[in-house]
Amino acid sequence: MAPRRAIHSLADVSNSTTLKRSGLLLAGVAAINAIVFSPLGDEWFFAIVLLGPIATGIVVGGRHGDTRLAAATWAASGLFWLVLDWIIHHEDVAFHAVLALVMAGLVALSARIVRAAHLIRSSARPRAAASER
């Protein structure tokens, strides 16, 4: 692995991995909230917050993506809803805190299951090919 060079200028900061990850996180939070705060989110809120993280984990696990970033995106959305609901209604703080943790856990769990299934499938393939010979 090549040594990382220090950031010495603003041009180097704009190419920073942290800024790219932050931008992806914010874009993900914006996309999730666009769905949740749409008319679809009114009727299907629980389906979105339970199936969305699972679908995200499946995609991230299948593409060997960054599971922590995907989980952090769903957790940040849950924390955003916590703050918003606390400001507007002064209630459901515990619900949104638990929901943020559950959504992050669902992303991590589903990504891990997909990766484990991929490992099992790839380890079974050489044995099957060897037994055919």
2-39 pLDDT tens trace? 566 655 555 555 556 788 899 999 999 999 999 999 99
3-state secondary structure of 39: helix
Give the residue from 68, 83, 66, 76 showing the smallest Cα distance to 100: 76
Residue 10 confidence (pLDDT): 54
Give me the residue label for tokens 């809803």. Answer: 81
pTM, entire model: 0.79
pLDDT at 130 over 70: no
Domain boundaries defined on the chain: 17-132
Residue 24 confidence (pLDDT): 93
75-104 pLDDT, tens digit each: 999 999 999 999 998 888 899 999 999 999
Contact (Cβ atoms closer than 8 angstroms) between residue 60 and residue 107: yes
Q: DSSP letters of 42-62?
A: HHSHHHHHHHHHHHHHHHHHH
